């Protein structure tokens, strides 16, 4: 077996040093009845050629986004990732390193975490960011639980614009803690409806912008109302490229901003691994979940970085920890930081502008199709359109024509009562030809 370096002679010699006759003597504490005598009923070892072939065959049964006219967003986005990003994260010293428990020999990881935290805070216009969560949906669940800890209240209100899977994820986590989730009916453009539900029992209101239908919202007034009622304003997002162009939630009074970072540096990967972004106002840092890198000095007075504020964490506080998060998304975070470093302010603004222009072109093209109405008025790169037929059937029919033309709201949320609404997205990866193909195919399907 090519990954196992011990030879039979090594094994014999080592058993001799240990003073054991055979390896099973080392498993002496395992109850005899539980020790398997035969091999488990699975295939035997295979060489690199065979395994490669098998995985390749499975991969080829799929239709990758890049082989179609592709317009899917709703929480995961297809963007260009420069070749240097993947090259750098595959460097052994990043790829095969562990959590930086020994900071003296992990400054590469730690400085990159510090740069990530700084970039995220700048992007979201927030004071402090942590060092990466699993993904946007679990980051949003952590934000909800954090609001309950900070305010000592039990109700979380979600706007009708939040991604339904984010609400479901938060519901799983929050209800286990005895918190109450109020999810408002799906609405293309009504984040402000959460204000009607503010009361002395509300820990936080969660709004999304751009929301799952693509609508961008000024959440300033929601923040003022929430703060007036003693609740926190939590803003979430799924498309972080948008903040290259639109006003970030931090500038509009959010206490916690959390969302998905996949768009920068990370491929679609069929839903994971991704990287959650999570930022808070400075006064909240000791209630913030997850890891954080901080600046300090070494014994020679040189600046260096360590994991810090660990008194909040499970390995010290155990049942009193702010969360049970252990492993995070280190490598995805690194990819994010490298890509953001390549973009810089100039590149990010340009990328965001391109995305927006493509979405405008998409909206204009689809608007001309008979039986289509564009519902989203203010948007970044994603729009909701109303069709004259159920959207799921349209999506399936489009797929047969080689167009992956968005996501039916009914798939995300069967109870939304929006069976004829489709969410479509355009990014810098879409060509004018793709857009024309989509419009033509949609026209045919709707006829």
Partner 1 sequence: MITDTTSGNRGLLQAEPLIFESGHVTGTGVDLPAPKGTPNKLGGLTRKAALDLPGFSEPETMRHFVRLSQKNYAIDLGLFPLGSCTMKHNPRLNERAARFEGFADLHPLQPTSTIQGALELMDELAHWLCTLTGMPAVALSPKAGAHGEFAGMLAIKAALEARGESHRKRVLVPSSAHGTNPATAVAAGFTVDEVKGDEDGRVDLEDVVAKLGPDVAAIMITNPNTCGLFEPDIKKIADAVHAAGAYFYCDGANYNAIVGKVRPGDLGVDAMHINLHKTFSTPHGGGGPGAGPTVLSAALAPFAPVPHIVLRGGTRELREHTDGTQAFGRMCAFHGQMGMFTRALTYMMSHGSDGLRQVAEDAVLNANYLLARLKPHFSAPFGDRPCMHEVLLDDSSIKPAGVETIDMAKALLDEGYHPFTTYFPLVVHGAMLIEPTETEPKRELDRFADVMIALAERVKAGEVEFFKQAPKLTPMRRLDDTRAARQPKLRWRRGQNDTGAKVAAE
Binding positions for partner 1, 392-431, rule CB under 8 A: 395-396, 399-400, 404, 407, 411-412, 414, 428
Nearer to partner 1, 253 or 294 (CB): 294
123 part of the interface to partner 1, by CB under 8 A: yes
Cα(230)–Cα(97) distance, rounded to whole angstroms? Answer: 43
122 part of the interface to partner 1, by CB under 8 A: yes
Q: Per CB under 8 A, which region of 111-119, 150-158, 229-237, 433-441 contacts partner 1?
A: 111-119
Query: Which of residues 253, 273, 371, 393 is near partner 1 by CB under 8 A?
Result: 273
DSSP class of 101:
S
433 part of the interface to partner 1, by CB under 8 A: no
Tell me the closest approach of the beta carbon of residue 92 to partner 1, in angstroms. 4
For residue 236, give every residue at least 6 positions away whose Cβ sits within 8 Å of its Cβ, in sequence order, or none: 136, 139, 140, 143, 162, 163, 166, 206, 207, 208, 257, 258, 259
21 part of the interface to partner 1, by CB under 8 A: no
Query: Which of residues 194, 206, 277, 331 is near partner 1 by CB under 8 A?
Result: 331
319 part of the interface to partner 1, by CB under 8 A: yes
Tell me the closest approach of the beta carbon of residue 119 to partner 1, in angstroms. 6
Query: Phi first, then psi: what are they for 374, rounded to 5°?
Result: -80, 120
Tell me the closest approach of the beta carbon of residue 185 to partner 1, in angstroms. 17
Cα(281)–Cα(46) distance, rounded to whole angstroms? Answer: 53
Cα(82)–Cα(47) distance, rounded to whole angstroms? Answer: 32
Do 143 and 279 form a contact (C-beta atoms < 8 A)?
no
Helix (H) or strand (E) holding 156: strand 155-158
12 part of the interface to partner 1, by CB under 8 A: no
Question: Site for partner 1 (CB under 8 A): how many residues?
Answer: 213
Query: Which of residues 182, 196, 353, 367 is near partner 1 by CB under 8 A?
Result: 353
436 part of the interface to partner 1, by CB under 8 A: no
Tell me the closest approach of the beta carbon of residue 223 to partner 1, in angstroms. 14
Residues numbered 189 to 218 that lie near partner 1 (CB under 8 A) are 216-218
Helix (H) or strand (E) holding 260: strand 256-260
28 part of the interface to partner 1, by CB under 8 A: yes
Residues numbered 129 to 148 that lie near partner 1 (CB under 8 A) are 129, 131-132, 134-138, 145
150 part of the interface to partner 1, by CB under 8 A: no
Do 290 and 325 form a contact (C-beta atoms < 8 A)?
yes
Query: Which of residues 267, 386, 416, 446 is near partner 1 by CB under 8 A?
Result: 267
Cα(234)–Cα(257) distance, rounded to whole angstroms? Answer: 6
380 part of the interface to partner 1, by CB under 8 A: yes
C-alpha distance from residue 130 to each of 109, 149, 257, 299, 349 (Å): 14, 17, 11, 26, 24
Residues numbered 279 to 298 that lie near partner 1 (CB under 8 A) are 285, 291-298
Residues numbered 174 to 193 that lie near partner 1 (CB under 8 A) are 175-178
Q: 266: buried, middle or exposed (CB in 10 Å: 19+, 13-18, 0-12)?
A: buried
Query: Which of residues 194, 239, 330, 365 is near partner 1 by CB under 8 A?
Result: 330
C-alpha distance from residue 142 to each of 9, 134, 255, 325, 331 (Å): 52, 10, 13, 10, 20
For residue 413, give every residue at least 6 positions away whose Cβ sits within 8 Å of its Cβ, in sequence order, or none: 164, 186
Q: Per CB under 8 A, which region of 148-156, 159-167, 194-202, 437-445 contacts partner 1?
A: 159-167
Residues numbered 236 to 265 that lie near partner 1 (CB under 8 A) are 243-248, 251, 260
**Shortest CA distance to 369 belongs to which of 344, 343, 341, 398?**
398
Q: Per CB under 8 A, which region of 90-98, 147-155, 196-204, 223-231 contacts partner 1?
A: 90-98
Nearer to partner 1, 172 or 199 (CB): 172
Nearer to partner 1, 267 or 446 (CB): 267
C-alpha distance from residue 392 to each of 42, 143, 384, 413 (Å): 39, 32, 14, 12
Taken as a whole, the chain contains a residue count of 447
Q: Per CB under 8 A, which region of 199-207, 222-230, 314-322, 438-446 contacts partner 1?
A: 314-322
Query: Phi first, then psi: what are they for 249, rounded to 5°?
Result: -60, -30
363 part of the interface to partner 1, by CB under 8 A: yes
39 part of the interface to partner 1, by CB under 8 A: yes
């Amino acid at each position: 077996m090519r990954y196992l370096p011990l030879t039979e002679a090594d094994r014999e010699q080592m058993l001799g040093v240990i003073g054991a006759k055979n390896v099973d003597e080392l498993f002496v504490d395992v109850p005899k009845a539980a020790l398997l005598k035969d091999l488990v009923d699975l295939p035997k070892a295979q060489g690199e050629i065979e395994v490669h072939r098998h995985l390749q065959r499975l991969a080829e049964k799929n239709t990758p986004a890049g082989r179609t006219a592709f317009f899917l967003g709703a929480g995961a986005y297809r963007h260009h990732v420069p070749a240097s990003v993947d090259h750098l994260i595959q460097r052994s010293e990043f790829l095969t390193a562990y959590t930086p428990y020994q900071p003296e020999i992990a400054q590469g990881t730690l400085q990159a975490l510090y740069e990530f935290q700084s970039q995220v805070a700048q992007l979201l216009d927030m004071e402090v960011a942590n060092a990466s969560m699993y993904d946007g949906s679990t980051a949003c669940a952590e934000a909800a639980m954090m609001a309950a800890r900070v305010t000592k209240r039990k109700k979380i209100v979600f706007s009708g614009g939040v991604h339904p899977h984010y609400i479901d994820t938060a519901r799983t986590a929050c209800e286990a803690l005895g918190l109450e989730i109020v999810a408002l009916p799906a609405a293309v453009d009504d984040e402000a409806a959460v204000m009607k539900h503010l009361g002395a029992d509300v820990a936080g209101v969660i709004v999304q912008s751009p929301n799952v239908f693509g609508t961008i919202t000024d959440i300033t007034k929601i923040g003022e109302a929430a703060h007036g009622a003693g609740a926190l304003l939590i803003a979430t997002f799924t498309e972080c490229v948008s903040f290259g162009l639109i006003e970030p939630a931090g500038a509009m009074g959010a206490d916690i901003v959390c969302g998905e970072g996949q768009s920068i540096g990370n491929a679609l990967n069929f839903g994971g691994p991704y990287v959650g972004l999570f930022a808070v106002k400075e006064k909240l840092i000791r209630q913030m979940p997850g890891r954080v890198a901080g600046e300090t000095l070494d014994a020679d007075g040189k600046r260096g970085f360590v994991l810090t504020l660990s008194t909040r964490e499970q390995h010290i506080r155990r049942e009193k920890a702010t969360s049970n998060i252990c492993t995070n998304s280190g490598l995805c975070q690194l990819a994010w930081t490298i890509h953001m470093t390549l973009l810089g302010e100039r590149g990010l603004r340009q990328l965001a502008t391109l995305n927006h222009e493509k979405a405008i072109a998409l909206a204009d093209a689809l608007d001309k199709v008979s039986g289509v109405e564009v519902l989203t008025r203010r948007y970044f790169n994603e729009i909701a359109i109303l069709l004259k037929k159920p959207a799921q059937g349209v999506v399936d029919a489009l797929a047969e024509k080689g167009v992956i033309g968005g996501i039916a709201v009914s798939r995300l949320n069967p109870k939304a009562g929006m069976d004829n609404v489709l969410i479509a997205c355009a990014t810098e990866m879409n060509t004018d030809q793709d857009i024309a193909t989509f419009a033509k195919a949609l026209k045919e399907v709707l006829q």
